[in-house]
Amino acid sequence: MRVKFWGVRGSTPTPHAENMRYGGNTSCVEVRLGDEIYVFDCGTGFRSLGMGLRHEFGPRPVRAHVFVSHFHWDHIQGLPFFGPLYDKPENKFIFHCSSRTRSLKSVLEEQMATPYFPVAMTEMKSQYDFYNIEEGKLKLDDITIKTAWLNHPQGCMGFRIETKEGVVVYATDNEPGDAAFDKSVRKLAEGADILIYDAQYLPEEYAARRRGWGHSHWREAVNVVMESGAKELILFHHDPEHTDACIDSVVKEARNHYPKVRAAAEGMEINLPFSAAAKK
């Protein structure tokens, strides 16, 4: 199983020179298991993934399951720019998300409607279907995906991907401090090989002026990985104002508390079982 990061930033894209090493695209993570492709979130990194898939597959059809954690802009703004959706009818994409507030189809249609976007969904030549999921368990091909709600304004879903090769947990956009949600995210992460977790703020930023905004910080991320028994922590959803140097210092400090910590970076790959180091 291969995990690849296409977008790692939170809230808004940050195409600035001081952010280029970790990257400025918003949330998008690909999990590849053999020929099966699973994508988590459709921020601006989703566009980059589409370019990569076009290059890799050429004339062959592209098929993937796409999981959307919630509908905030930084998790859906890459959808209209995902090239394979427009290419050919042999391509097929199955979207999974909760429709607790809205359906993804209606969100996408409105996002691409006048006056917000010049191209309508009707221009998409590929096959695409939308499936509603709620908290629980989903069996797909050779994997099991468990879902749990996270503590975020208007809701956000966390995902646990269980395979024979290992377990990956994608838990972005989660705020600590609610006992029920704190317990739930630790259960979701229990014993995982990789925990991809929200670390948008510095602890002091969160305490001073970010409470109630729906995000976490690196110190809480360390608490979650240690208390859940997960093996490796990947800090994710970096704040737009955090430069490469800032993220470097966060990783260094976090490793004083737990040794297996990395910050997600665009292009970074992790292979399970742990037979190869991550590469950029």
Domain that holds residue 89: 2-271
Number of domains observed in the structure of the chain = 1
pTM (2 decimals)? 0.95
**One-letter amino acid for residue 226 of the chain:** M
The CATH number assigned to the domain holding 164 equals 3.60.15.10
- DSSP of 176-241, one letter per residue? S--HHHHHHHHHHHTT-SEEEEE--B-HHHIIIIITTSS--BHHHHHHHHHHHT-SEEEEESB-TT
Within 13 Å of residue 30, how many CA atoms lie on the same side as its CB? 25
Instruction: Point out the residues of the chain with pLDDT beneath 50.
Output: 276-280
pLDDT of residue 275: 54
Q: Dump pLDDT digits (tens) for 181-202.
A: 999 999 999 999 999 999 999 9
pLDDT of residue 99: 79
- Domain for residue 278, yes or no? no
- Domain for residue 139, yes or no? yes
- Domain for residue 279, yes or no? no
Q: Dump pLDDT digits (tens) for 198-254.
A: 999 999 999 998 888 789 999 999 999 999 999 999 999 999 999 999 999 999 999
Q: Characterize 111-128 residue by residue with b for buried, 16 or more Cβ atoms within 10 angstroms of its Cβ, and e for exposed.
A: bbeeeeeeeebeebebeb
- Domain for residue 276, yes or no? no
Please give the Cα distance from 192 to 29 (Å, whole number): 17
First-to-last C-alpha distance (Å) of the chain: 17
- Domain for residue 277, yes or no? no
